[in-house]
Structure 1
Amino acid sequence: MQWNGEFLAFFLLSVMAIGGAVFMIHFTRVVHMVLALAFTFLSIAGIYVLLHAEFVAAVQVLIYTGAVSILMLFGIMLTKHRTSDHSDSRSRHQLLSFVGVAAFFGVIMWVIYHTPFSGGKAETAKYTVANLGEWVFKQYVIPFELTSVLLLAALVGAVILAKKERDA
């Protein structure tokens, strides 16, 4: 294992991603959970940059960090939610959760270190951003447009439901 800048950046970004996910699970306020989730998404986008997948990193930032996080915040603001915190003692539950996560981590690390990975190079010449755009807008244009219509219908339905709740 070499300690170079790329390894250090990957280590920091992965710790930030895992930390954001742990904070998202640990927080009790929904807004804090969304911010921790956005932090996790940004860290994952940084990992994509390290993998030289700049397009995927940009899509990660635009779609997940931007759109999904903002959509979650709008959903929180449009719905009625309780702001009271429930601070019941969950120490036994937390201990069992920690033991389960530690065991799962151990199994995953054992599988990673005992799995032989091939060192072959992937053929990336035909998987470019231009080809992706060509596939989406030529071969898959109907599913792409149907997805956008479905998302628009969901947005209109959410606004109508929020307006009905506010009027009641």
Structure 2
Amino acid sequence: MDLAVLVFWGLASLILASAWAVVNGNDIVHAVVWLATVFLLTACLFILADAEFLAVIQVLVYVGAISVVIIFGIMLTKRTLKGGEDV
């Protein structure tokens, strides 16, 4: 096998494992970190495919903007307990 094929399958398995951690995680902040990891690894796949521009856009838009928006949404959401008390 070629080295590029091995790197591809390694990245693909890491992306799947990180996506599994996003879906099955209990903490929403950890899920956002795993989602950012998925986006970064996807950018690595773009670099492997010689699409550097798409990799840069992936990092800027998804890792930078979307992850920050999700974290701000989490931080600014008012959380209440089952009894109606504020957290």
Would you call these one fold, judging by a TM-score over 0.5? yes
Give the whole-Å Cα distance in 1 for the aligned partners of 2:78 and 2:23.
21
TM-score (norm 2): 0.86
Which letter maps to 2:5? F
Give the whole-Å Cα distance in 2 for the aligned partners of 1:26 and 1:68.
20
Gap regions ≥5 residues in structure 1: 84-168
Which letter maps to 2:69? L
Runs of 4+ more than 3 Å apart: none
User: Which is higher, the Rg of structure 1 or of structure 2?
Assistant: 1
Q: Which residue of structure 2 lines up, in the alignment, with residue 71 of structure 1?
A: 69
Q: Which has the higher contact order (CA 8 A, sep 6+)?
A: 2
How many residue pairs match? The answer is: 81
| Identity across matched positions, percent | 38
Q: CA deviation at 1:82?
A: 5.9
Does the residue aligned with 2:32 lie in a helix, a strand or coil? helix
Give the whole-Å Cα distance in 2 for the aligned partners of 1:44 and 1:37.
11
Which letter maps to 1:27? G
Gap regions ≥5 residues in structure 2: 82-87
TM-score (norm 1): 0.46
Compared CA separation, residues 69 and 4, structure 1 to 2 (3 A): same
Q: Which residue of structure 2 lines up, in the alignment, with residue 4 of structure 1?
A: 2
Give the alignment of 1:77-96 within 5 angstroms: 77-81=75-79
Q: CA deviation at 1:81?
A: 3.2
